[in-house]
Amino acid sequence: MKESVHQAEQTQPKGYVEHVEPITAEWRVDEAVKTRWSSITSNPKIMLIALFASFGGFEYGYQQGILSQSLVMYRFTTNFPTVVSSSSATGWLTSILQLGGIVGSLSAGLLGEMFSRKYTMFSACCWTILGSYLYVGAAPGNPALLYAGRFFTGLGVGTFSGVGPLYNAEISAPETRGFIVSFYQFATILGIMLSFWIGYGSNYIGGTGEAQSDLAWRLPSIIQGIPSVLLAVGIWWMPFSPRWLVKVGKYEKARETLAWLRKKDIDDELIELEFLEIKAEALFEQRVFEKNFPKLAAQEKKSVLIRELSGYVHLFRSWDNFKRVSTAWLVMFWQQWSGIDAIIYYASNVFQSYGFSEGTIALLATGVTGSVFMISTLPAMFLIDRLGRKHMLMSGSIVMFISMVTVGIIVAKFRHDWPHHRDAGWAAVVLIWIYIAGFGYGWGPASWVLVSEVFPLSIRARGASIGASSNWLNNFAIAFLVPKLFDVWAWGTYIFFAVFLFGGFMWVWLVLPETKNATLEDMDRVFGSKTGAEDLVMLAQAQRDVGLLDYLGRRSEGVKLDGVGEKGSPI
């Protein structure tokens, strides 16, 4: 923390303890919720910035879909027979993306703190562009560049997943955070949908048989690099995260950025209040770190790298922090083992297994899957801040569980005689579409929102990167195992994922707290943090030292806070 932090600590004699309770901004959020949508429509630039920052999610989703399409294209299968003829080779080509994603997501926390969320997204663009065009350069009979391209693309989209939702969470107001962060999931689903339909269309380039051109499988990857090029150029006009600016001591820039993002004057009372809340938590977290790690705190002043690496120790030093890390990690664990990427990665193969041996029909059914995904995600974006994360996760789990069990029963009964049970095959396809809709409504948007919002400022970037790495680690396991699972278990694969859906439902119901409408600075209350009386005093002292308590004291004397409250309001 900058020198001003240490100056603030010296405002009282050593050993001074002020027994006051820390304040929260719950009253301000409650009032803001009443005008949530009018504030969004009157300030559309937040949505534009969030959508632009979510291009990384688009790349993630797009990359998930294009391989599924390629695996059933005639020219791809003849160019790379060693890849498609072996379930192990197919699994490795699919899962090497996840290996890159694991590395990228873990590095995102460190890079996001050292160089800002904004510049970390730029580095992700560079990796994705490199990977996209290495993949295009693969020569028939030599799949080496396919593997290299997917690994470097994985580095890029993994980095995006660790920093993109975090950036959106930190530029948004608490009452619209779920909506703004869910743009990342919206962009992911948009990428999946477009990749499915682009794959379906490019399948006809030159024909669908021997006449098919190599461009049929190369064009989707050429298109993949375009959004990253656009983001790499446009990112220089995007603002820095105001919370990151506070953390590195750039207070005036943080205040200016907040005013610009909220479309208010820099001297507006609500801008000052939000700025002081962020500043108080930054000071509090720094003091807690210095109290718990005095040796590391002394070293971090000498080296930025030591400071950031030492922060990972802080993730697991206290039970409160460990609980947040576990929550983020388990959210992504249950999301991935719901089986969603088993369907996305191998959608065309799955539909072919229902008796639709014609590749074009399987591709068409896959394209509809992407459309269903998109349609179900849109209402979730508008409902997540009203209904809450838990409600959407549980209801989505129920729909997915019933669909998976029913598909498993259909496959078990008819898989040896699909030609005479065409209706059963289509029933299985429709149930997969319903399953996809359940995910798009529930686990899709809610999981990324939770990962980006549950951490305190001092560990937010690192914690979010741990949550994103869980997505990639479990994604890797699924991408590698699923071809073998379908080969060996067939219908049992669907029941396997249904069991995990039931486990995820119980975890959400019994363990996960509700986070809707809580500020990022108020997550300790949500998680029932037991930091002890001393830490509560330290938080109140930090609020006093940055001037927050004095500011609220003056406001409570009857001066109106920009329409939020007058004398007698519960501040």
Spell out the domain ranges in the chain: 42-238, 245-312+526-550, 316-517
Q: Rounded mean pLDDT of the chain?
A: 82
Average pLDDT over residues 409-422: 88
**Residue 170 predicted with pLDDT over 50:** yes
pLDDT of residue 1: 42
Give the pLDDT confidence score for residue 509 in this predicted structure.
95
In this structure, the number of other CB atoms found within 10 A of the CB of residue 362 comes to: 24
Answer whether 42-238 and 316-517 agree in fold: yes
pLDDT for 129: 96
DSSP H helical ranges for 172-268: 177-202, 215-234, 242-247, 251-262
Which position has the token pair 């074009």?
360
Q: Which two tokens stand for residue 329?
A: 């990690």
pLDDT tens string 398-412: 999 999 999 999 999
Q: Which stretch of 12-16, 345-349, 397-401 has the lowest confidence by average pLDDT? A: 12-16
Which own/partner pairs from 1-10 qualify as long-range (CB within 8 Å, at least 24 positions apart)? 1/247, 1/249, 1/282, 1/283, 1/286, 2/248, 2/249, 3/249, 4/249, 4/251, 5/249, 5/282, 5/283, 5/286, 8/283, 8/542, 8/545, 8/546, 9/287, 9/545
Phi, psi of 346 (to 5 degrees): -120, 30
Which CATH superfamily hosts domain 42-238?
MFS general substrate transporter like domains (1.20.1250.20)
CATH of segment(s) 316-517: 1.20.1250.20
User: Which residues partner with 142 through β-bridges?
Assistant: 139
Per-residue pLDDT, averaged over 328-349, amounts to 87
Point out the least confidently predicted range of 294-303, 306-315, 559-568: 559-568
Q: Which amino acid is at 191?
A: G
Mean pLDDT, rounded, for 17-33:
55
Residue 328: which H helix or E strand, with range?
A: helix 319-336
Sign of CA dihedral 393, 395, 401, 404: negative
Q: State how far Cα 302 lies from the chain centre.
A: 33
Determine the pLDDT at residue 296.
67
Q: For residue 189, what pLDDT is reported? A: 82
